[in-house]
Amino acid sequence: MSTIAAISTPDAPGGIAVIRISGDDSIKVAEKIFSPYGDKKVCDMSGYTCAYGIAHDNGERLDDCILTVFKAPHSYTGEDVVEISCHGGLYVTRRILRAALKNGAINAEAGEFTKRAFLNGKLDLTQAEAVMDIISAKGERELKMAENLREGAAFKRVDKCSERLMKLLGDLAAWADYPEEDIPSVEPENLRNELSDISAELGSLIKNYDCGRILREGVSTAIIGKPNVGKSTLFNCLSGFNRSIVTDIAGTTRDVVEESVSIGDITLRLSDTAGIHETNDVIEGMGVDIAEKLIDSSELIIAVFDGGCPLTEDDLYLINKINNKNTVAVINKNDVEQKLDIELISDKLKHIVYLSAKENKGIDELKNVIENIFEINDMTINSVSAANERQKRCIESAIDCIDNCILAIDNGEMLDAINVILDEAEQHILELTGKRITNEVVDEVFSRFCVGK
């Protein structure tokens, strides 16, 4: 493989930056751009050792640096790896990378270091995907889940299922191919019991998928309501700053304003929307159309009602539209005389919170209700679950095949037919772990990584 190089730290000024070089010629490249102080040479350095020296480009001094050597196969990628730690200025970091590229390295693609770790057997595919989850973790619980996957928790569970399927496939193949030999026949009832157990084990890996996804990706949340009920004021309260424009003029918000907000361990991907009502204004009407589409696509709806006014036709339309959605009804303007027919709302919507967004009162209660809706406990954090849609899809496909095998047994189908379906289930599991996978899938997985990792 070619020798690759990239900046592995964020593309921003900092105290320190790291340029990573990996491949057969990484040490040769490093020798051309780094001179240790003293008599030590880069080529003579052992793995897991460091040297202090100067990074240079054609003799031009660039920076004082520390160079660390990792020798194959005992490195992150399984190849010879060199990391140069320099001062974290953008210019000097890019100059050192440019010097490495001029002297034999090529630019690393997104996720290529981790991709090489996978291809060299340092990580299975589920562990490799967990690396990106660790990088993007925004809280302690999210990080803990990612670390469990990085340590191979999911792989071990899936691999045991794979071994059990392989044994069944071997028994079926031996019984079918050597009928004259003294080989015990495969009893349908025993086969059915074993397949049911494997299906349940795989099912447990996607049981908590939605909770894990919420921790990783957050909850798409739309704040909706008719004009001038306090949607933007509430949006600003939750955001912690004035992100949306707030006026007494109805229809101020015409486009969607978005912000990510942390509610405990949950991230809400908030959208402040235009007031939903009948309008002849073309631009405002477009905003209303977008708001209605967000109702259909959002995982959580925060429906805001004006407590100081009776329900209107627009309110009733909204209540009926969100009746079967995951909704929190916010009765806003609780600081004025209440004229709202709350019974009609409570008959349709389960969660109701009273607050005054203007006075920032009742916000904590709203946050508590949202946390309870998306309850994520320690059992969820410590459980092993599929980490993304690719893994979930592979597990679901394997379960479908196994369940079809069970149905075939119940219907008295020949074991030859069951063997074919069971082999398909095993292929889905091997695709999950990366033991059998196409180059296209590998490229798609690692394309989501940042460059330098």
Q: Which residue has the tokens 């973790």?
A: 137
Can you read off the two tokens belonging to residue 251?
Answer: 């229809």
The pLDDT value recorded for residue 179 is 56
**Chain center to CA of 366:** 26
Fold of 132-208+385-446: Four Helix Bundle (Hemerythrin (Met), subunit A) (1.20.120)
Cβ neighbours of residue 98 closer than 8 Å, sequence gap 6 or more = 57
Q: Is 282 exposed, middle or buried (0-12, 13-18, 19+ CB in 10 A)?
A: exposed
Fold of 4-108: Gyrase A; domain 2 (3.30.1360)
How many Å apart are CA 175 and CA 418, to the nearest integer? Answer: 13
From start to end of 110-242, where are the E strands? Answer: 219-224
pTM: predicted TM-score of the whole model, two decimal places: 0.66
Domain ranges of the chain: 4-108, 132-208+385-446, 215-373
The pLDDT value recorded for residue 251 is 45
Q: What is the pLDDT of residues 92-149, one digit of tens each?
A: 999 999 999 999 999 999 889 999 999 998 988 888 888 877 777 666 666 777 777 7
Q: At what angle do helices 389-410 and 125-136 cross, to 10 degrees?
A: 140
- In this chain, the answer to whether the domains covering 132-208+385-446 and 215-373 adopt an identical fold is no
- One-character DSSP codes across 424-445: HHHHHHHHHHTSS--HHHHHHH
Q: Which residue has the tokens 């795989």?
A: 202
Q: Is 7 exposed, middle or buried (0-12, 13-18, 19+ CB in 10 A)?
A: buried
Q: Which class would CATH give 215-373?
A: alpha beta
The number of residues making up the chain comes to 453
The pLDDT value recorded for residue 247 is 41
Inter-residue contact 343 to 369 (CB < 8 Å): no
The pLDDT value recorded for residue 252 is 43
For residue 430, CA distances in Å to 262, 383, 435, 437 come to 37, 22, 5, 7
For residue 122, CA distances in Å to 8, 435, 447 come to 19, 13, 19
- Regions of the chain with pLDDT less than 50: 244-255, 379
